[in-house]
Structure 1
Amino acid sequence: MIKAVIAKNKPQLDDALTVRHQVFVEEQKVPIELEIDEYEDKSTHVVLYDDEKPIGAGRFRVIDDVGKLERICVLPEYRGKGAGTMIMEKLESIAKEKGLKTVKLNAQTHAEAFYQRLGYETVSDVFPDAGIPHVTMVKTL
């Protein structure tokens, strides 16, 4: 059974970081020093599990009354099967619980259509982040 949980302890946080390492550092060649940043301890982390196996991750933090969704990723074998949507729903529920009305994210351009299907609107031109083209997207909750 696949479920999204908020990381409440070090093993769950480690699971989130493991998935992020596999996707961003190993697969997409993002330097580790860019992947792990100063916001790790200030963020709420979500881990997506298939039974006990971590298969996806994302994190949430608040910037100026806006929920910022970051580091959203799914292992390759689980993509296109609803896993990303489950992570997004969990991250958006955190924003709603905090009383926020708006969320935003910086999406890799190849994932822009995925976020558009979830109600996100592109509000920026393309810009590089870790050498990967991105756009900023927002959604009103």
Structure 2
Amino acid sequence: MPKNVQVKKVTDPAELKKVFAIRREVFVDEQNCPPELEWEHEDESTHFLATADDVPAGASRWRKTDKGYKLERFAVLKAFRGDGVGQALVKAVLADLPPDADYVYLHAQVAAVTLYERFGFVKADPEFEEAGIRHYKMIRNA
């Protein structure tokens, strides 16, 4: 079980390649999300890579939208689930948001709702389907 989980913001093409590989494995391969839905808004997003004992383990991003700041694409490789990687990603992304981020939201897969609730997110709308997966829109109460 990994002991040293770290998250860093990445812009380097080699590091971004690791982020995209994690997302491909989790969303496209494992969850059968259509690839054309997975790869959008990449240039306007701030990307994060999580490692566990220096091995790529998870990824996420945030971006500014016309509504506020949207947290997206939280993906943890199966071998690292339950090791705190998801929590570390949420903490890092929230800490990186600009000071004017007063409206922070995300679309949480139903299985991940409790993770986001630990960080002050609450369900804002009824359950909906996105890319064939059940989600809730969640808003952070700051």
Match of 2:32 in 1: 29
Structure 2 CA distance for aligned equivalents of residues 113 and 76 of structure 1? 18
Which has the larger displacement, 60-69 or 40-49? 60-69
The range that moved more, 48-57 or 15-24, is: 48-57
Distance 1:86 1:98 in 2: 20
Count of matched residue pairs: 139
**Structure 1 range deviating more: 67-76 or 44-53:** 44-53
Distance 1:36 1:62 in 2: 16
**What amino acid maps onto 1:8 in structure 2?**
T
What's the secondary structure of 2:111's corresponding residue? helix
**Identity, % of aligned pairs?**
34
CA distance in 2, matches of 1:127, 1:65: 18
Match of 1:120 in 2: 121
Contact 1:65-1:100 within 8 A present in 2 as well? no
C-alpha distance in 1 between matches for 2:79 and 2:49: 16
The equivalent of 2:76 in structure 1 is 74
Q: Aligned-pair distance for 1:7?
A: 0.7
Query: Per-residue CA shift, 1:105-131, capped at 9, x if unaligned?
Result: 000111112211222100011111001
- Residue in 1 aligned with 2:44? 42
- TM-score normalised according to structure 2 size: 0.91
For 1:5, the equivalent position in structure 2 comes to 8
Paired residue type of 2:57: I
CA displacement 1:74-103 (0-9 Å, x = unmatched): 0112112211010001110111x3431231
Which letter does structure 2 place at the counterpart of 1:73? A
Contact persistence 1:12–1:47 (CA under 8 A) = yes
Larger helix percent: 1
* Length-normalised TM-score, structure 1: 0.92
